[in-house]
Amino acid sequence: MTRLFALFQLGLALVLGAFPAPSHAAATAEGDARRTILFFGDSLTAGYGLENHLVDAFPGVLQAKIDREGLAYRVVNAGLSGDTTAGGLRRIDWVLRQPVDIFILELGGNDGLRGLPLATARANLEAIMQRVRARNPQVRIVLAGMQLPTSMGPYAEAFARLFPDLAAAAGVELIPFLLEGVGGVPELNLPDGIHPTVEGHRRIAEVVWPHLRPLLVARTADASPQLHPGTGNASVGR
* Domain encompassing residue 146: 3-17+33-223
**222 among known catalytic residues:** no
Any idea what DSSP says for residue 196? B
Residue 214 is assigned to a structural domain of this protein: yes
Residue 113 CB partners (closer than 8 Å, separation 6+): 9, 10, 12, 13, 16, 148
Residue 112 is assigned to a structural domain of this protein: yes
Output the pTM of the full model.
Answer: 0.82
Q: How far apart are the first and last CA of the chain?
A: 35
Over its C-alpha atoms, the chain yields an Rg (Å, rounded) of 17
The three-point CA angle 206-77-190 to 5° equals 60
Q: Which one of 93, 151, 165, 192 is the catalytic residue?
A: 192
Q: Which one of 42, 56, 111, 195 is the catalytic residue?
A: 195
* pLDDT per residue of the chain (238 residues) written in tens, 0 to 9: 444 444 444 444 434 444 333 333 333 444 578 999 999 999 999 999 999 999 999 999 999 999 999 999 999 999 999 999 999 999 999 999 989 999 999 999 899 989 999 999 999 999 999 999 999 999 999 999 998 878 899 999 999 999 999 999 999 999 999 999 998 899 999 998 778 999 999 999 999 999 999 999 987 666 544 433 344 556 554 3
The H or E element that residue 189 is part of is none
Spell out a b/e string for 108-142, using b for 16 or more CB atoms within 10 Å of the CB, else e: bbbbbbeebebeebbebbeebbeebeebbeebbbb
For residue 167, which amino acid is it? A
Residue 163 is assigned to a structural domain of this protein: yes
Residue 205 is assigned to a structural domain of this protein: yes
The domain that contains 141 carries what CATH number?
A: 3.40.50.1110
Count of domains for the chain: 1
| Per-residue pLDDT tens over the stretch 67-115 | 999 999 999 999 999 999 999 999 999 999 989 999 999 999 899 989 9
List the one residue out of 201, 208, 154, 212 whose CA is nearest residue 176: 208
Residue 165 CB partners (closer than 8 Å, separation 6+): none
- What local confidence, expressed as pLDDT, does residue 223 receive? 59
Q: Which one of 42, 43, 81, 83 is the catalytic residue?
A: 43
| Per-residue pLDDT tens over the stretch 218-232 | 876 665 444 333 445
Residue 109 is assigned to a structural domain of this protein: yes
Q: Report in angstroms the alpha-carbon separations of 125 from 76, 86, 103, 122, 178.
A: 19, 8, 13, 5, 16
Residue 142 is assigned to a structural domain of this protein: yes
